[in-house]
Every structure is written in C-alpha cells, then in structure tokens.
Structure 1
Amino acid sequence: METMTRFKALVVEKGADNTFTRSLKQRDINELGAGELLVRVRYSSLNYKDALSATGHPGVTRQFPHTPGIDAAGEVASCSDGSFAPGAQVVVTGHDLGMETDGGWGEYIRVPSSWGVPLPAGLSLRDSMILGTAGFTAGLSVLKLEWAGVRPESGDVLVTGATGGVGSMAVSILAKAGYRVVAATGKAADEGFLRDLGAAEVISRAEVMAGAERALMKERWAGAVDVVGGEMLAAVLKSTRYGGTVTCCGLVGSAELPVNVHPFILRAVTLVGIDSSRCPSATRLEVWQRLAGPWRPALLGQMATEVTLEGLEDEISRILRGGVRGRVLVQL
C-alpha cells in the first residue's frame, strides 16, 4: 500500500502557563517514534484514559506535543522485521500506545512489532475498535472470572458502571457466555439499553451500596466486574458470596479502597486486578479470539457512536463528565 509522508493527527500541546490545547495538524511520518511496525490507522476509539491524556493529565502523558489514542486498527504500511506483511490488517491496543507513544488519533502509528495482533477472523477493523481496549478489558475480566472457577451455574455476576465502555461490554460478553448478569448503574433511563445488551436485572448504585457501612453485607454475587473502584468496590467485596471472585479494572469512582479484611478471611473472596496494557501476548491473543467468536457481543454494531477526529472535542468533555453510553468509535 502507498504510504503518505504527511498525515493528519489530533495533537495535544502544552503551553508555557501549563494549559493544554488540542488541534488537528499535519504531521510527518519521520516525527513518529521508533518501532518496526508502521500502521495506516483506519479506526481508533475514545477511552477514559484518552480523555485524560487529551487534557494533559500527568498520570497518563508527560511528554508533549502528543497524539492520544490507546487503540488503533488498520493496515500494515511496513514492518522492518518481517513480522507482518504489508497490507495485513492488525489491531494495536495497550502497551504504551497513546500514553507516551503517539497513538491512534493520527492516520499513522509506529510501534514495536510485538504490539501488533493480527485482526482475528470474524471481526472487521471497525468491529475491533468498537471493542477496543474497553472490550478487551471486559473480555480479560471474564476470562479471569472463568479461571477462578466462576461459571454460569455459580450464580449472579454483577457489573458496576454498566453503561460505560467497559461495563457495557462486560454485560454483553457475560450474557453471551451464558451468565446471569446484574447490571448496576446510576442512570435509570438506560435500563432498556442494558437489558438489550443481555442484563437479566438492572439495579441502582444505591441498591449495591445499601448496608455498606457494615463489616460484611448479605452474600449476593458469585462474581463481579467492577469498573468504579472506591466505596462501590468495597461494597461489592462485602456482598460477594463465599469463594467468589471480583475483578477490578477501573477507578472512575475513586482510586482508594476503604474495605476491611473480612471478605477475604471470612468468605475467601478473591480480588483480581485487571491490566490490559501489559497483558502477556498469549493471553491477549486468547481474549481477542474469544471476542471474535463465542464472546462476540450480540449488538456490537449498535454499541458505538461514530465520530471523526473533528468530532472528538465534544466526546472528550462528555466522557470526563460520565455522560458517554457504550463506546465512541473514531473513524480516520
């Protein structure tokens, strides 16, 4: 395929007064960092981490100017070590993409070839970015529940923050895998959306938190996927059944965890951390293959709002306010 030397990208710049500006600019291929794999990006997505990078959060990105986008899918323009043939379709998520390495909000990325995953059979490039890091993180959470022995017959599985990117994906993947899913949300108006994704029951945040002041709560969940953190995660742990497992992959509520040891030493509850960035390659491939096959969300094409780079500004503000439902797909 023909490679352009100049390409369009959304660039975040830091001013002398520590303010950050975002604009579309023409960049040069030679400005990209080191790596064997050059990819012509066709689709990316918007994740909470992207919004933090786009607004200059130092916990995500410290070097500016910078192009965010922790997800990218497209065709191989070149690969100097021969790992991929030119024109091959690949997905890149996680690692350092979009953090200190220029990411998918540009028409090209250059990364180590080990970061690339061949597009799984059964997914288009567009499909892969509707899933993106959110779908991968949700899939990794379900895989870890399965590894811990939480099966569909074990009982109800709770998903917190269920209308967000990871939460909505987790609801859909768990339902497709045969679990009875209880979706927790603060957005009562989205109950229909969650039931369409496969939730058997939709409950409020208040119902999850009821009785959370106690050392232990009534046993309810065989497992849980938590994307909220903070007091919500503490309440989930206190209400998980004996021997159950809770996965933790987010902190939109808080990075603090105000919980005692009782769930762990009296109910043998397991808390499993989920990190999508440094996930081993073999596990990464397994999750993507399942997402393309038995775990593929039934309503995948309906789970995303599609925007161009020019339309990202409003979506960045919306996701930081917690106003995004499902996924935001970025079409390049």
Structure 2
Amino acid sequence: MSPRPQYPFSALHGQPQLQLALLLAAIDPHIGGVLIEGPRGTAKSTSARALAELLPGQRFVDLPLGASEEQLVGSLDIQAALQNAEVAFKPGLLARADGGVLYVDEVNLLADALVDLLLDVCASGVNRIERDGISHQHEARIALVGTMNPEEGELRPQLLDRFGLFVRLGAQIDPASREAIVRSRLAFDRDPHGFVERQRHAQQALIGRLEQARACVGRLDFSDALHRQVSSLCHAAGVEGVRADLVMLRAAAAHAAWLGQEQISDGDIEAVAELVLAHRRKTPPAQSEASAQQVQQQGRQQPAPDSADNWGALPPQAVATQALSGARPLPKKKP
C-alpha cells in the first residue's frame, strides 16, 4: 500500500498572507524564515508540509522541543570512532533539512540558545561545527517555519526580530473561506490519492514557477528609489537596526521573482512590508505610514545632495515679504 500523500499546496484556502510568506522564504532562504502566530486549527503545519512538497528534495524535518544541540547541528559519529578509530561527522537535523523545510512547532517554548543557533544557520545558509575534535561545515539552505501561540509564552524581542517574516493568523475565518477549506479537506480525507491527482497540474505549475523564481531572484537589482522607500518605511516604523531593511529588500526581490518580473517595483515593497514590520514595529501603523509618506515626499522635493547642479546649494529660506498689489507707499520720515 502506497504511503498517504501530503495535502497539496495548490489546494490551500483562506490564508493568502501565510502562503505568500512561505513562498518568499522558499525562494530566498536568506530572508530568515517565517514565524506564524495563531491558535490551533489554522493550517500552520499543513501549510508548512505542503510547501516542502514544492521543493526539489521534498524534505520536511520536524524539530522536537526536547532536541539537543548535538541533534540539531550534528556530532561525532561514535560508532565510526569505536570501530574504525576515525573521526567522522554524524549529520544532524540541519543537514537532513538542507534544501527543504525545517518546522519548529511552538518555537517560543524552545530553548533560547537553540533558537539563536538555528536562526544563525538559516541566515548564513551554512552549518559550521567545531567541537569534539570535529571541524566540519555543510550547506543548510533551509526554509525555516516556526509557529507559536502567544498564550503559552512570548519570544524574546532579540529572537523575534531575527525571524524574517511574521504572519498573525486570526481565530475567525470568513464563511466562504471556511466552506472552501472544509470541502477540500473532506475530499482529501475520503480519497487522498485521487485528490492529489486532481491537483497534479496545478502543483506542477507551482513547482515550475518556484524553481524559476529561485533561479532568477539573485539577478534582480535594487534601485536608489527602492532603497529610499524601504529606509523610509523602516525608519517610520521605529524598528531597531537595519535587519528589517535587508529583509524587506530581499522579500521584495523574491516577490518580484515570483511574479516573473524583471524589475522590483514599489508594489513589491508594499506587498511584503507588513510581513517584515509586523513583529518589529515600535510605532503604531497609522502613525508610521503617515511618517513614511512625509519622509518620501520630502525626499522627492529636495535635490539629491551629491547632484553636480546643486552642489553647495542651500535649502530655500523663509523670507518676509510685503504684498505689492494695492499697497500704499510707506510715509517718508521727516528730517
């Protein structure tokens, strides 16, 4: 009997922001993974498993909360050391997840040291081990997906900021989406293989589109205007450091690549901005949006500081003036 297939990504309903964030993280793992906040029953693990089916190796690795550092990064192969008296590396979960999805359910309950290590490796794409007489490194191009329920504890701000994208799922789902989700799930449970076969063409289209986006995302350039737009948004949101700027630009490039565009546009920035800023913002959304618009408007009005035509020019100064139309001449002073 063939194994039960995974629910296909092409059949997901009702969580467009979650699906977008997962695809962006798969296109460019250097974005730093996706953190999903929400109650149970909102298709967090189903979506992550479905994403793995779109990736070349179709690898999905579940990191248990009780995992040790050795299980995560790898360790000395004791059997090889005892039998052959040789130092050999025993791959860990990071090696197994290379090219696929590493899923951490309730990441807020994982030891901070492991979260920190995990995020380091996912950001660099390389796992380096220097311990127990081992000096080894291997690629770890991983789409990291973490979930958390805020009722069970929060992540430290330092770790929260290191997740590239953030999706907050609401407990309420609109009636139309609920109906579509339930219909699809019932059809899948009754005939998993038949359901997957009916989605085969849609799945293949997604796989091809994702492969193309992963291949071209590194060739997209960032214009000066995009840099200014991103800097304005992040400054207005009151975020600390420049990690948000870097993530937003990478996510915008991934979004443009996903749409098959040859250039990154303002629309790509707008599509990913909230995914990047939602867990980093220190300024309320309405206030930060108004501030960003003001900064961008000022940037358009003022000449570039290094322009050859405006070198050394001063900004306009306010000067008191007197209306000339219909004005009476000032009386002459008597000698």
TM bracket, shorter-chain basis: under 0.3
Higher strand content, 1 or 2: 1
Normalized against structure 1, the TM-score is what?
Answer: 0.26
- Bigger relative contact order, structure 1 or 2 (CA pairs below 8 A, ≥6 apart): 2
> Which one has the largest radius of gyration?
2
Higher helix content, 1 or 2: 2
Normalized against structure 2, the TM-score is what?
Answer: 0.25
